[in-house]
Amino acid sequence: MEQIKRPAIFLDRDGVLIVERDFLMNTDDIEFYPETIKALAAIKNEYIKIVVSNQSGIARGYFTSEDVERVNSEISEMLGGKGIFIDAFLFCPHGPEDECACRKPRPGMILEAAKKLNIDLKKSWIIGDKSSDIEAGKASGIRTVLVKTGYGGSEPGASNANPDFTASDIGEAIEYINRSAF
Protein backbone atom coordinates (compact mmCIF):
# COMPACT_ATOMS: atom_id res chain seq x y z
CA MET A 1 0.00 0.00 0.00
CA GLU A 2 1.38 3.40 -0.98
CA GLN A 3 1.95 5.91 1.77
CA ILE A 4 -0.23 9.02 1.58
CA LYS A 5 1.69 12.09 0.47
CA ARG A 6 1.55 15.16 2.70
CA PRO A 7 1.98 18.82 1.80
CA ALA A 8 4.93 20.82 3.10
CA ILE A 9 5.84 24.38 3.82
CA PHE A 10 9.45 25.04 2.86
CA LEU A 11 10.93 27.93 4.81
CA ASP A 12 14.05 29.89 4.03
CA ARG A 13 16.01 30.42 7.25
CA ASP A 14 17.83 33.77 7.12
CA GLY A 15 15.52 36.67 6.37
CA VAL A 16 12.34 34.63 6.92
CA LEU A 17 12.56 32.83 10.28
CA ILE A 18 15.46 34.80 11.70
CA VAL A 19 16.92 38.22 11.09
CA GLU A 20 19.30 38.24 8.11
CA ARG A 21 22.93 38.37 9.21
CA ASP A 22 25.58 38.01 6.56
CA PHE A 23 27.13 34.57 6.97
CA LEU A 24 25.66 33.71 10.38
CA MET A 25 27.78 31.20 12.28
CA ASN A 26 27.45 32.25 15.92
CA THR A 27 24.41 30.95 17.80
CA ASP A 28 24.45 34.11 19.95
CA ASP A 29 23.47 36.07 16.82
CA ILE A 30 20.22 34.16 16.22
CA GLU A 31 17.30 36.57 16.42
CA PHE A 32 13.78 35.54 15.48
CA TYR A 33 11.48 38.09 13.88
CA PRO A 34 8.75 39.13 16.35
CA GLU A 35 6.07 37.23 14.39
CA THR A 36 8.05 34.01 13.76
CA ILE A 37 6.98 31.96 16.79
CA LYS A 38 3.29 32.82 16.51
CA ALA A 39 3.34 32.20 12.73
CA LEU A 40 5.04 28.80 13.01
CA ALA A 41 2.62 27.77 15.75
CA ALA A 42 -0.27 28.65 13.42
CA ILE A 43 0.82 26.31 10.62
CA LYS A 44 -1.84 23.65 10.09
CA ASN A 45 -0.85 20.19 11.32
CA GLU A 46 -1.09 18.55 7.90
CA TYR A 47 1.98 20.47 6.71
CA ILE A 48 5.49 19.12 7.04
CA LYS A 49 7.82 22.02 7.98
CA ILE A 50 11.20 22.08 6.25
CA VAL A 51 13.92 24.72 6.34
CA VAL A 52 15.87 25.03 3.08
CA SER A 53 18.84 27.38 3.12
CA ASN A 54 21.75 28.31 0.87
CA GLN A 55 24.90 28.43 3.02
CA SER A 56 27.65 29.54 0.64
CA GLY A 57 29.76 30.65 3.60
CA ILE A 58 30.91 27.01 3.74
CA ALA A 59 32.27 27.09 0.18
CA ARG A 60 33.81 30.51 0.85
CA GLY A 61 35.63 29.19 3.94
CA TYR A 62 33.82 31.50 6.39
CA PHE A 63 32.45 28.60 8.43
CA THR A 64 31.97 24.84 8.32
CA SER A 65 29.00 22.52 7.79
CA GLU A 66 29.25 21.78 11.51
CA ASP A 67 28.79 25.51 12.25
CA VAL A 68 25.61 25.56 10.13
CA GLU A 69 24.35 22.40 11.83
CA ARG A 70 25.05 23.98 15.24
CA VAL A 71 23.03 27.10 14.31
CA ASN A 72 20.19 24.94 12.93
CA SER A 73 20.24 22.79 16.07
CA GLU A 74 20.02 25.88 18.26
CA ILE A 75 17.11 27.23 16.20
CA SER A 76 15.40 23.84 16.51
CA GLU A 77 15.96 23.78 20.27
CA MET A 78 14.69 27.35 20.70
CA LEU A 79 11.56 26.57 18.68
CA GLY A 80 11.08 23.22 20.46
CA GLY A 81 11.01 25.10 23.75
CA LYS A 82 7.93 26.88 22.36
CA GLY A 83 6.30 23.64 21.21
CA ILE A 84 7.24 24.14 17.55
CA PHE A 85 9.02 21.38 15.66
CA ILE A 86 10.74 21.60 12.28
CA ASP A 87 10.69 18.27 10.45
CA ALA A 88 13.96 18.81 8.55
CA PHE A 89 16.74 21.34 8.01
CA LEU A 90 18.42 21.13 4.60
CA PHE A 91 21.21 23.38 3.38
CA CYS A 92 23.35 23.80 0.31
CA PRO A 93 27.07 24.21 1.16
CA HIS A 94 28.06 25.31 -2.34
CA GLY A 95 28.93 28.71 -3.75
CA PRO A 96 27.11 30.48 -6.58
CA GLU A 97 29.75 29.42 -9.12
CA ASP A 98 29.59 25.71 -8.21
CA GLU A 99 26.64 24.92 -10.53
CA CYS A 100 25.24 22.35 -8.08
CA ALA A 101 21.68 21.03 -8.22
CA CYS A 102 20.88 21.94 -4.61
CA ARG A 103 21.63 25.67 -4.52
CA LYS A 104 18.49 27.77 -4.86
CA PRO A 105 17.24 28.89 -7.43
CA ARG A 106 17.67 25.24 -8.46
CA PRO A 107 15.10 22.90 -6.92
CA GLY A 108 17.45 20.19 -5.59
CA MET A 109 16.80 20.60 -1.85
CA ILE A 110 13.03 20.71 -2.37
CA LEU A 111 13.01 17.68 -4.66
CA GLU A 112 15.28 15.73 -2.27
CA ALA A 113 12.93 16.46 0.63
CA ALA A 114 9.91 15.52 -1.47
CA LYS A 115 11.41 12.13 -2.25
CA LYS A 116 12.63 11.38 1.30
CA LEU A 117 9.55 12.67 3.14
CA ASN A 118 6.83 11.66 0.65
CA ILE A 119 5.71 15.23 0.01
CA ASP A 120 2.85 16.25 -2.26
CA LEU A 121 4.50 19.11 -4.16
CA LYS A 122 1.21 20.23 -5.77
CA LYS A 123 -0.11 21.11 -2.31
CA SER A 124 3.14 22.58 -0.96
CA TRP A 125 4.54 26.09 -0.52
CA ILE A 126 7.83 27.90 -0.11
CA ILE A 127 8.26 31.11 1.87
CA GLY A 128 11.38 33.09 1.03
CA ASP A 129 12.88 36.55 1.03
CA LYS A 130 14.90 36.19 -2.18
CA SER A 131 14.01 35.70 -5.81
CA SER A 132 16.10 32.50 -5.70
CA ASP A 133 13.64 31.05 -3.15
CA ILE A 134 10.72 31.86 -5.43
CA GLU A 135 12.48 30.47 -8.50
CA ALA A 136 13.32 27.22 -6.65
CA GLY A 137 9.68 26.90 -5.66
CA LYS A 138 8.45 27.44 -9.20
CA ALA A 139 11.03 24.96 -10.56
CA SER A 140 9.70 22.41 -8.03
CA GLY A 141 6.05 22.97 -8.91
CA ILE A 142 5.10 24.43 -5.53
CA ARG A 143 3.35 27.69 -4.68
CA THR A 144 5.46 30.63 -3.60
CA VAL A 145 5.30 33.46 -1.08
CA LEU A 146 7.84 36.29 -0.99
CA VAL A 147 8.20 38.06 2.36
CA LYS A 148 9.39 41.64 2.64
CA THR A 149 11.64 40.86 5.62
CA GLY A 150 15.31 40.07 5.01
CA TYR A 151 16.14 40.98 1.43
CA GLY A 152 12.49 41.24 0.44
CA GLY A 153 13.27 40.15 -3.11
CA SER A 154 15.78 42.98 -3.61
CA GLU A 155 19.01 41.03 -3.14
CA PRO A 156 21.97 41.77 -5.42
CA GLY A 157 21.26 40.14 -8.79
CA ALA A 158 17.58 39.59 -7.96
CA SER A 159 15.32 38.52 -10.77
CA ASN A 160 11.67 39.36 -11.20
CA ALA A 161 10.46 36.04 -9.83
CA ASN A 162 6.70 36.80 -9.65
CA PRO A 163 5.66 34.99 -6.46
CA ASP A 164 2.12 33.70 -6.06
CA PHE A 165 1.74 36.06 -3.08
CA THR A 166 3.80 38.78 -1.43
CA ALA A 167 3.54 39.16 2.35
CA SER A 168 4.93 41.70 4.77
CA ASP A 169 6.36 38.93 6.96
CA ILE A 170 6.09 35.25 7.86
CA GLY A 171 2.95 35.92 9.91
CA GLU A 172 1.04 37.28 6.93
CA ALA A 173 2.48 34.50 4.74
CA ILE A 174 1.18 31.73 7.04
CA GLU A 175 -2.21 33.45 7.36
CA TYR A 176 -2.46 33.46 3.55
CA ILE A 177 -1.43 29.81 3.24
CA ASN A 178 -3.89 28.76 5.95
CA ARG A 179 -6.73 30.53 4.07
CA SER A 180 -5.79 29.06 0.70
CA ALA A 181 -7.38 25.91 -0.63
CA PHE A 182 -5.24 23.09 -2.01
Q: Is 14 a catalytic residue?
A: yes
Please pick, among 12, 67, 129, 169, the residue that the annotation labels catalytic: 12
- Which value, in Å, is the radius of gyration of the alpha carbons in the chain? 15
* Contact status, residue 47 vs residue 8, Cβ threshold 8 Å: yes
Q: Is 12 a catalytic residue?
A: yes
Decide: residue 18, CB within 10 A, 0-12 exposed, 13-18 middle, 19+ buried: buried
Question: HSE-up of 19 (CA within 13 Å, CB side)?
Answer: 9
Please pick, among 14, 67, 129, 133, the residue that the annotation labels catalytic: 14
Q: What φ, ψ does residue 135 adopt, rounded to 5°?
A: -65, -40
48 has which bridge partners? 8
Contacts of 43 (CB under 8 A, 6+ apart): 9, 49, 174, 177, 178
Considering only CA atoms, which of 83, 96, 89, 74 is closest in space to residue 11? Answer: 89
| Per-residue DSSP letter, 51 | E
Active site residues: 12, 14
